[in-house]
Structure 1
């Protein structure tokens, strides 16, 4: 077993109690699918074991497929990936939340630097992060309209009229 495989096996052993499922999409990666209720416990397990570092927090918009004529439209989801790295090994904690209840707990009590990624999730995807220490805008202007999330697939940029003045 290579050093990277041993590192991933260690992470798998740490995270198994919290996982819905685990997959190895590549030899250097482990994807751990979690319910939101298990997110903090999974992050704490990695932090307590000093397993790597938080590399990134990423949002993925997963709109529901179009409903058949006689069916109710299913609801879309936001999938959030918390990626941790240790050498060449990457572990992604993956949590899906529905649009109607896009709420996750903050991991900032465990990893204070996560605030930037959490702010981006709130601002760009509309995920409410409960308990995050800073909810101020990170990227968008303060004048940006509430409830408009530019990284959701449903986002339609405003059309600018030719010759329109900047900011007008």
Structure 2
């Protein structure tokens, strides 16, 4: 059974990382980039593969799960079923083509980086699948811009 003493450091660290992500997203928008770029930079900053502040693997797992849930929730809010029905033929062709192109480009790059064949294939597949969600987020962010160049909401 966990106590407040056990969970307080975890909550504090997660809060620090979320604050850092919000700050980096804000700064990215200030320089004209989508907020998702700031979030990606934050992920790199707290990654175990970069020097400096590194969150524990438990913290990173929790943050990754929260991030995926929120991102997919946001994408789900934007889905217009009428448009999907209208575009279903192109979606049925476009989605597999996008994944194939991601695999065709990503796998050789990862192989060139010295990653074993199966690992390169899995990394390329995960990037091909997740890139769609990131692109939807960036596109939505660009669409929200008003005539003054600021984001609504």
The answer to whether TM tops 0.5 is no
Structure richer in strand, relative to its length: 1
Output the TM-score relative to the length of structure 1.
0.29
Structure richer in helix, relative to its length: 2
Output the TM-score relative to the length of structure 2.
0.31
